[in-house]
Structure 1
């Protein structure tokens, strides 16, 4: 079938909405009519070239939800009309990582930027003018319709609005899990969250849910600081240095129990500044991305060793999406996890570049593309 989708022809570049040819689903695949897609910073990293793609054109989008319209042959468990959220990280359920409870590290993740079917690197579900088009994370949620592996889909209750459910496919789990899983926040602790965008605001929520007494949000944009306070932060400041001083004031001069780095374009300097704010045996969690080819973090090695500090990377907040997406949506239904409040602006597919301009201008916590808009 034909569908419209936002693609990158090169990097650096901008998204262009074009008509694409979309494959019907094969066994183990479903075709989905998209309802909504979050405008995550990672897709902007593709556009800037911070994260290089394996093929161009590449159809963007990796945070989305929709309704199943076709089911591939011999694909049990799915039917037309099912509501699904996509996980940007697939879970095969069989590799070492899935089997040991680390689904976010599933071996299928190696194909996320290749854009191809994981079982056949020469096969692509999308094409443009007869040439193959890659799918970001194998799901390409910046398309009106998409065909994906069931390894990337989680069925959800029909009653949950898809325009907010889509956020659990990346930003909610990444931020919430960065606090709950990677930082292992405990009741009574002091936590700093550095960078209050789509990921950072959910790290704030995660730290609050885990029982942190003090949650200090850091962002230079006043709008984001205000939103952090509305969603549970106890303090909101413009600089990491000020946050460190506040944390030391609560901990007899020791520092934060954990600092979570969710800056949109993360550098080694951000990590070093965050590392300096944590106490002995504290944890600095690095969740944000920047230029993934860059190396070097200027931290004192003696402080790392003698203070037993921990520097911890976090992919998708160490989530198990087939479980955690449904758990987070249950928390939303119970009124514990805020999702509606995260969506600042809704856009049409043709406004995708405007959405990213607004993100860079600090106007949004999360922009969302609505396909019925």
Structure 2
């Protein structure tokens, strides 16, 4: 099958022929139909986060089940599915206490010594067939081989390109609002960064009934897009001090802030713009080794800062509900897609992410 492979940090992905195994007892083979190009992939391309190489990237995807293992019970051949990188075992402590997105059980991966899910044919006789799977998925490829708890069946009238977005950015943003921070009707929200995740966060805040939703970015076109997703106010971070502007708009700060970029300065701003008792949620992937500095006395006002991973999701329940929300006109997905591309165009999508120009490029497979 064709796949986009990262061989060296900082270098473009290469389109290669990669081999894929057959489903084990708890595994599912999926024909990839669409895959979003996410900023999280770019973090690994640029080396902000380490990963074994070479690797097939991609983690925001939807497709059709082609084959299942002998013990699979959650999906069947022909099902339309959304994938999720936070695969779960279902019986560890975090799973049993309702925090499935935090599961890191090795049971969802193949054990050392087993044939890998992805590999290269040894045509040269060198014995080197290594190919790493990325975040349990590797969806920049024509097929995916995943644990059954890394995908969920959805209704068949849902378009694949929009379904793929639910697999990461939308689940991350909406989930951060609803699950991680528990935004209530009438509360105030600020969102720093209006890319795909930030826009989904704004949409989630609107769905949750937030009274005031303040979007913050440096790019005017993204701020205009934020209004379409439910922002009541926008702040140009290149022209104004975001913290001061938020405090003035809200009379002291917001109940909930969401940092959707992954920078030290914006994480610190997210905490500073809180009112007493407020909660800052760090959604963005802050580079390894970066330290955040906060003003100690602020904690006397019961301000809180916390991480949010994949929207604290329970994806087998959440994702079908988000599909229904889109089909019912409540969740905006069409506006998130800036263009549809072929697998061979993946590097140009990364270039556009670096420039901060687009909401989302989606790879569409024939």
What TM-score results when the alignment is normalised by the length of structure 1? 0.92
1:351 aligns with 2:345: yes
Q: 2:283 aligns with which of 259, 282, 287?
A: 287
1:125 aligns with 2:117: yes
Kept in 2, the 8 Å contact 1:22–1:127? The answer is yes
Deviation at 1:246, TM superposition (A): 4.0
Q: 1:199 to 1:24 in 2, by over 3 A?
A: same
Kept in 1, the 8 Å contact 2:343–2:363? The answer is yes
Deviation at 1:211, TM superposition (A): 1.1
Secondary structure in structure 1 of the residue aligned to 2:292: coil
Q: 1:296 aligns with which of 271, 291, 294?
A: 291
1:339 aligns with 2:330: no
In the TM superposition, what whole-angstrom CA distance separates every residue of 1:147-195 from its partner, at most 9, and x where no partner exists?
1110101011111111111111111110111122222212112211000
Deviation at 1:82, TM superposition (A): 1.1
In the TM superposition, what whole-angstrom CA distance separates every residue of 1:335-359 from its partner, at most 9, and x where no partner exists?
1111112111111000000011112
Structure 1: gaps of 5 or more residues:
112-116
Identify the residue that residue 178 of structure 2 maps to in structure 1.
Answer: 180
Identify the residue that residue 114 of structure 1 maps to in structure 2.
Answer: none
Kept in 2, the 8 Å contact 1:59–1:133? The answer is yes
Kept in 2, the 8 Å contact 1:190–1:247? The answer is no
**What is the alpha-carbon root mean square deviation over aligned residues?**
1.6
Deviation at 1:95, TM superposition (A): 1.0
Identify the residue that residue 272 of structure 2 maps to in structure 1.
Answer: 276
User: Please, which moves more after superposition, 354-363 or 119-128?
Assistant: 119-128
1:325 aligns with 2:319: yes
1:119 & 1:126 partners in 2: Cα distance? Answer: 11
Secondary structure in structure 2 of the residue aligned to 1:67: strand
2:341 & 2:153 partners in 1: Cα distance? Answer: 25
Secondary structure in structure 1 of the residue aligned to 2:131: strand
What TM-score results when the alignment is normalised by the length of structure 2? 0.94
Identify the residue that residue 126 of structure 2 maps to in structure 1.
Answer: none
Kept in 1, the 8 Å contact 2:33–2:63? The answer is yes
Kept in 1, the 8 Å contact 2:74–2:152? The answer is no
Identify the residue that residue 35 of structure 2 maps to in structure 1.
Answer: 37
1:98 aligns with 2:92: no
Kept in 2, the 8 Å contact 1:244–1:256? The answer is no
